[in-house]
Structure 1
Amino acid sequence: MTNAAAALTHSVSVTENSDGRLEVFGLGTDRALWHVWQEKPHSGPWSSWASLGGVLTSSPSSVDNSEGRLEVFARGTDNSLWHIWQDRPHAGPWSGWASLGGAITSDPAAIANSDGRLEVFARGTDNALWHIWQEKPHAGPWSGWASLGGEITGDPEVFINSDGRLEVFARGSDNALWHIWQEEPHAGPWSSWASLGGAITSDPAVVASSDGRLEVFARGTDNALWHIWQEKPHAAPWSRWASLGGSITSDPVAFDNSDGRLEVFARGTDNALWHIWQKKPHSGPWSGWASLGGVLLSDPLAA
């Protein structure tokens, strides 16, 4: 691997710096964390790839601290959660790697609470969902690991509701979509696990419509893209599952466009990148599937 072009082995994570520049993180063939960044906000040119070291075994999860510093989390060879962070907002130098302990068996999912504290979720060796969090915004100390129970079979996906409460989604041992949520913003207690039904064969992708309702996408047993959504912002009830068709071979990735329309990307049976989009913000109808070409060896990712 060289600084000019990194060879990546897992899905990447993309986060926007506080000055508006995008930064991309990925696991290299040497199992180190590599990153590349825009040198100007909203446009090129891009830097060369640079290594942040480490010896990792999962895709990274990057997040922006409330004070503007990026922080990246990944599983180490000891199955602990490791992290590294910028010492200054949107700039180097970076810290060294530090362990947050635990014994995790999935990619981590990191997010900032509405009060600015980071929180990370991952599946444990018991297949339950575990989490760890900062006790103060953008600083240590960190809590100990705590279990949220459940029995999940994939990587968790976390999103923040429009009222500030975190909600986590994951595929259960019955292949249904399950979720659990904070009952108050940035604090416990947490709800019990609840099933949203379905029969899914991928990790879920979660996004918020421009009106604040969460919407979840996943691949079904027929390899089509299926979705389910809140009928009211940050609250039940949820819709029934509905098919968006297609024939996909990867986890989907959902993205909200600047005009409020949702768009979903996935790898097709031809290994090309395919996408489908809403024709109007936060409502149907949806377009047909369209190919963006290419040859993908991993799941796509939108920022």
Structure 2
Amino acid sequence: MIWLDNDFTVNLGGFSDQTLNEARELPVGSTLITPPVAVVSGNLVHAFGVGPDHGLYHWVYNSAARFGSRWSPQEMVGINIWSPPAAVLTGSNQIDLFCLGPERGMLHTRWNGSKWSTWEQLGGAFSSLPVVLPSTTGFDIFARGLDFMVYHVTNWKPGGPADWQLLGGGLFGEPVAASAPAAVRLTTATLVFVTGADGGIWYSAFEGKLWRAWISIGPAQHAASVGKDAVTFISEPVPVPHMSGDLSTGGGGTEAGPTTGANPAPSQPPPFSIASGEHVDVFAVGSDNALWQKRLDHDGWHPSGDWSSLGGSFACAPSVVAWAPRPAITTQTPPAHFSLVGPQTDNTIHRWNFDPTPTPLSSVGTWSADDNVSHPTFRLPTRYTFAVENIHIDNIRSPSSDTDLGVATLKIGGWPLRSVNFNFGDLSNGDHIYDWDRLGFIGTVELCEPVLYTYSIVNSNNPGVEQAIVTMTVKGIEDLINDLFKSVMPPPLGSLYGAGLFAWLGDKLLSIAFGGCDGLVAAGSMMYLTGRDVQEQMLHQGSGMPRQFLTSTRTELGDPPTTCQNSNYLVFTSITQT
């Protein structure tokens, strides 16, 4: 297992049955701004990651070394890198690397055991790390485009051209891809999965000639199932294929867990062939931070309704899928034992083990958590808290106090817009400091993803219009984002601060009949065209530990109605590495 600790330094370690083996940290200074990637070749572990200078670095850990450091010296492989690499072991000591370079085009280089080849440009323009499936003749490559659609190239060969195609060709209702794609190959088909902007997971299949139309397998849990908000997905899907000969007998066509949907329809066979004895388990993190699972086999999806919740409190999708050792001597096909290792919201790493042995409660096996082992700490360099820190009022709008309602939104890439509102109550002049979650969010911003955080504060002494204020404000931000995405050129970063956003939201709230001194008193935003811009600002203008960037926006309103005052609000907002 390879991960970043609290200082964003690479660590290498492994879980035994009961404990985490000793962590082997890289030398001080070997910090990364993206999660590390590793491949294993014999006694060697090749680790890769993007440094603060956006260079791509390579280290080798030799478990057989007896003297000195087992880590090799740091080696720079590339410069101006825009994504974590996809590393594929294609020979006994041959590694193919794919990543995004300048202009966010796809790049490739190969390690032959002693040196790296010259970088090749595969073209395109993307907003996610690549996903690569090797074959005996070439590579199938998938990535999310700048338009948040999934693109692919089939059977690309080093040195040859790359003919990028929209997956589905624009004819099959392609989903807007919130997450990076994930792909697996079975005996009869290649499957691609993505979390859509609707919070559900979608997939498409290729059987050798054409890609099938995209199919939604829904959110984790529909709203009708529990009588409250649906549980949508907030991470990329993690598919785990199980090929023939890797499975225990039975299990095909049985439910993988309880179905909470109301009278779910029976599972239907997929619109393509899957060999008997093969299946794919798909995992993803829901908006409740639990891990959810669904299984596809030749009979269809199981459960047929809502997904099965495995619990936990995940900060992101499981980062490692590890197959457990098989028995040395066996008289039957060994069962598909495997483990998921994932970061939790308490900044520790946990492991879950799957045992496919049927039980009275589950015919497909059971999950168990390693609660008695040590849990290493970690940090994700692309995970941030966006929040209002302090509201400093030099002059309220009302004669005695302002009754303020705050609304904040966060939009990251193709992910659904998030919103939160908080009633501050009666405020007078002075400082008003609040916990981050009053008007804040935690979110992961990849290097190629744009991000927009907004806040607005309305003075309203009428509780009857509170919901209308929230609804109209969120709708106004949605309209703003849609206009931004339609623009050929992005707006200047400063155009959404202060007066620009205030005027936009003020127009959206005109339909609300405010009385007296009520109305919008403050608005502001933090906007970045890419997550790399966030990284740069945190690096050069952030301070403290955890690192934080603090900014402020002043909103002054004159020409007040009779009995009202000129208002003056100074709002401090922050981005903190979480």
TM-score band by shorter chain is 0.7 to 0.9
Question: Partners of 1:41 and 1:175 in 2: how far apart?
Answer: 46
Distance verdict in 2 for CA 1:53–1:120, change over 3 Å: same
The Cα shift of 1:297 comes to: 1.1
> SS where residue 92 of structure 1 aligns?
coil
Q: Does 1:109 align with 2:131?
A: yes
Question: Partners of 2:357 and 2:188 in 1: how far apart?
Answer: 22
Q: 1:74 corresponds to which residue?
A: 99
Matched letter for residue 145 of structure 2? G
Q: Does 1:63 align with 2:88?
A: yes
Question: Partners of 2:60 and 2:357 in 1: how far apart?
Answer: 30
Q: Does 1:189 align with 2:210?
A: yes
Matched letter for residue 239 of structure 1? H
TM alignment of 1:116-135, pairs within 5 A: 116-135=137-156
Q: State TM-score, norm by structure 2.
A: 0.46
Greater CA drift, 207-216 or 75-84: 207-216
Consecutive unaligned residues of structure 1, counting only runs of 5 or more, are none
Consecutive unaligned residues of structure 2, counting only runs of 5 or more, are 1-8, 10-25, 169-173, 220-231, 248-277, 327-335, 359-363, 382-578
> SS where residue 78 of structure 1 aligns?
helix
- Say if 2:342 and 2:349, in contact at 8 Å, map to a contact too: yes
Q: 2:392 corresponds to which residue?
A: none
- Say if 2:120 and 2:159, in contact at 8 Å, map to a contact too: no
Question: Partners of 1:20 and 1:48 in 2: how far apart?
Answer: 17
- Say if 1:119 and 1:133, in contact at 8 Å, map to a contact too: yes
Matched letter for residue 275 of structure 1? R
2:159 to 140, 158, 161: 140
TM alignment of 1:47-58, pairs within 5 A: 47-58=72-83
Q: 1:293 corresponds to which residue?
A: 375
Aligned residues with identical type, % of pairs: 26
Q: Does 1:263 align with 2:339?
A: yes
Question: Partners of 1:105 and 1:148 in 2: how far apart?
Answer: 15
Q: 1:152 corresponds to which residue?
A: 177
| Greater share of residues in helix | 2
Distance verdict in 2 for CA 1:190–1:20, change over 3 Å: farther
Question: Partners of 1:131 and 1:10 in 2: how far apart?
Answer: 23
Q: 1:279 corresponds to which residue?
A: 355
Q: 2:33 corresponds to which residue?
A: 9
Question: Partners of 2:117 and 2:109 in 1: how far apart?
Answer: 6
Q: Does 1:227 align with 2:293?
A: yes
- Say if 2:314 and 2:342, in contact at 8 Å, map to a contact too: yes
Q: Does 1:21 align with 2:21?
A: no
The Cα shift of 1:108 comes to: 1.0
2:122 to 85, 88, 100: 100
Deviations, residues 93-139 of structure 1 (Å, cap 9, x unaligned): 101222211010111111213x3311211011222110124445xx3
Question: Partners of 1:268 and 1:111 in 2: how far apart?
Answer: 28
For the aligned residue pairs, the C-alpha RMSD in angstroms reads: 2.7
Q: 2:56 corresponds to which residue?
A: 33
- Say if 2:140 and 2:155, in contact at 8 Å, map to a contact too: yes
Distance verdict in 2 for CA 1:42–1:279, change over 3 Å: farther
Question: Partners of 2:62 and 2:100 in 1: how far apart?
Answer: 28
> SS where residue 270 of structure 1 aligns?
coil
Q: How many residues align?
A: 284
Q: State TM-score, norm by structure 1.
A: 0.84
The Cα shift of 1:228 comes to: 0.7
- Say if 1:256 and 1:262, in contact at 8 Å, map to a contact too: yes
Matched letter for residue 34 of structure 1? Y
Greater CA drift, 263-272 or 142-151: 142-151
The Cα shift of 1:268 comes to: 1.4
Q: Which has the larger radius of gyration?
A: 2
Distance verdict in 2 for CA 1:221–1:143, change over 3 Å: same
Matched letter for residue 39 of structure 1? N
Matched letter for residue 206 of structure 1? P
The Cα shift of 1:143 comes to: 2.9
The Cα shift of 1:67 comes to: 8.2
Deviating beyond 4 angstroms after TM superposition, the runs of 4 or more aligned structure 1 residues are 40-44
Question: Partners of 1:35 and 1:105 in 2: how far apart?
Answer: 23
- Say if 1:250 and 1:267, in contact at 8 Å, map to a contact too: yes
Matched letter for residue 56 of structure 1? I
